[in-house]
Amino acid sequence: MKPIVIYTIWAACQLMFGVFAQTKGIRLEGDIQDENGPLGSVTILIYNDARLIRTLGTDAEGQYATDLEFNKNYFISFGKAGYVSKHIQIYTTGVKRPNDYTPLKARLVLFKPVDGVDYSVLSQPILKYAYNAQLDIFEYDKLHYESMQAQLNVIYETEQKIRDADAYYEKAIKNGDRAFLKKDWLNALGYYKEAANYKANQPYPEQRIYEITLILKQLPKSNDPELGQKYTTDTNLIKPKVQSEITKSNKKPNTKNVKSQIKTSVKINSGKQILQHADSLMTKKKTMDAMIMYQAINPDSVQKDSIQMRMKEAQASLRTKNKHISDLDFEQFVALSARGIYEEYKQNETYTSFKSYIIRDNVINVYVKTAFAWGQIKCTRNGQDISYYTYEIETQDR
């Protein structure tokens, strides 16, 4: 009988110590990631009623685990240098009856901040756990979680909008520089205006716009093939002058200045000469180029009605050749191109949309790429569905 007595005592001790161990608290475990995967060396600060009681960190796989006592109010912070911190809150109060509770799980994704985005909402806990006495379980606050996720989505959308603006700006500058080196002044002007639209108050595109404006004013009265050659190589950009300073200046150009490559000073009749040049482009059926030239004319130097009449004729000619696009798309194209803009960006809670107007030989094609919040990407050309691959190929040189 002795072995039975010993076994009974051992089993009773195991049961007793097991109950005591279970009544101590609940386990918290999880992992931390960033956009590239598991994130190691994340510092985890555990507070109880605003007092720091413990510090730990994630391992190389981004994993962590710790035990939390009952009847406490925990605020836990997850942070790493160069990342936006996140927090969770766990209430372990109200536990009446010891139980072997399922460990709490918390998987978080940290991300690096983007300049211009407000992250103050993340000072609140992203996740809250509390004890439900009726069900005798720990559960998360679903309403709070959904509210925080909605605010996180706003942050993500704002970040993406800024990233897209930066990317579109760089692409427009690159295309503008390429056209500038080829002395394709009209397309270069359009690209630099596009860049200035994406990011305001940037000196580089503003300078290029100023230089090209001067060059275009000289084209009708200069056959110099090297007109503007200085601009294609000189990196010491000058500050643009306002129009009043240019028209009032009667001084001889400074040969040390970048403007010295302009052969003659800007005169009041330059608008008439540009008008003649634009009319010549219309005769050659270069309608889009003519429209850009009409838009570049200073309305003070030519009768406004005369410009408007020619613009309407150019638009009518362009519309005849582009019956494949909708009236709305054409009207939007005319309105945007008047400001040197050929791309349009829209965003809301469910999707991000990027529309671009690409013109080749007076033919306008309207491309739209829409990225939905649930991950789907849809691409169209003139309202017809196309593959993402086709979209990228056909728009890569826009």
Mean pLDDT in residue range 142-161: 90
Return the pLDDT at 228.
46
What does pLDDT average to over the chain?
77
Per-residue model confidence as pLDDT tens digits over 359-389: 877 788 899 988 876 667 888 999 888 887 7
Return the pLDDT at 182.
83
Using 50, 70 and 90 to split pLDDT, how confident is the model at 160?
confident
Distance (Å, rounded) from C-alpha 233 to C-alpha 228?
A: 10
Share of the chain above pLDDT 90, in %: 26
Distance (Å, rounded) from C-alpha 375 to C-alpha 351?
A: 9
228: left (phi over 0), alpha (psi -120 to 50) or beta: left
Distance (Å, rounded) from C-alpha 124 to C-alpha 158?
A: 19
Per-residue model confidence as pLDDT tens digits over 96-137: 876 788 899 999 999 999 888 899 999 999 999 999 988 899
Distance (Å, rounded) from C-alpha 61 to C-alpha 42?
A: 11
Distance (Å, rounded) from C-alpha 393 to C-alpha 326?
A: 23
Q: How many residues does the chain have?
A: 398
Return the pLDDT at 210.
86
Six-digit token string for 294: 């009409």
Return the pLDDT at 348.
72
Domains of the chain listed by start with CATH number: 22-140 (2.60.40.10), 335-398 (no CATH)
**CB count in 10 Å sphere of residue 144:** 15
**CB count in 10 Å sphere of residue 179:** 19
Return the pLDDT at 105.
93
Six-digit token string for 197: 């639209």
291 closest CA partner among 349, 222, 200, 362? 362
Residue that wins the pLDDT comparison between 27 and 284: 27
Using 50, 70 and 90 to split pLDDT, how confident is the model at 38?
very high
CA dihedral 27, 32, 37, 43 (to 10 degrees): -130
Return the pLDDT at 375.
66
Q: Taking 80 as the threshold, does the pLDDT of residue 167 lie above it? A: yes
Mean pLDDT in residue range 221-225: 44
pTM of the model: 0.49
Distance (Å, rounded) from C-alpha 293 to C-alpha 337?
A: 12
Mean pLDDT in residue range 80-106: 90
In degrees, rounded to 5, the angle at the alpha carbon of residue 258 between the alpha carbons of residues 298 and 276 is 30
Share of the chain above pLDDT 70, in %: 75
Q: Taking 50 as the threshold, does the pLDDT of residue 334 lie above it? A: yes
CB-based contact 80:109 (threshold 8 Å): no
Strands 104-105 vs 25-34: parallel, antiparallel or unpaired: parallel
145 closest CA partner among 101, 94, 103, 108? 108
Q: Taking 70 as the threshold, does the pLDDT of residue 159 lie above it? A: yes
Using 50, 70 and 90 to split pLDDT, how confident is the model at 340?
low
Distance (Å, rounded) from C-alpha 210 to C-alpha 238?
A: 10
Residue that wins the pLDDT comparison between 285 and 193: 193
Return the pLDDT at 219.
66
CB-based contact 64:32 (threshold 8 Å): yes
302 closest CA partner among 333, 323, 271, 273? 271
Residues in contact with 200: Cβ distance below 8 Å, sequence separation at least 6, in sequence order: none
For residue 314, give Cα distances in angstroms to 55, 178, 285, 318: 71, 27, 9, 6
Output phi, psi for 313, to 5 deg.
Answer: -65, -40
Determine which of 40-54, 199-213, 291-305, 308-322 has the lowest per-residue pLDDT on average. 291-305
* E-state strands within the chain: 25-34, 37-38, 43-48, 51-57, 63-69, 73-79, 86-91, 104-105, 108-109, 127-132, 137-140, 343-347, 351-360, 363-372, 377-381, 384-386
Residues in contact with 14: Cβ distance below 8 Å, sequence separation at least 6, in sequence order: none
Using 50, 70 and 90 to split pLDDT, how confident is the model at 68?
very high
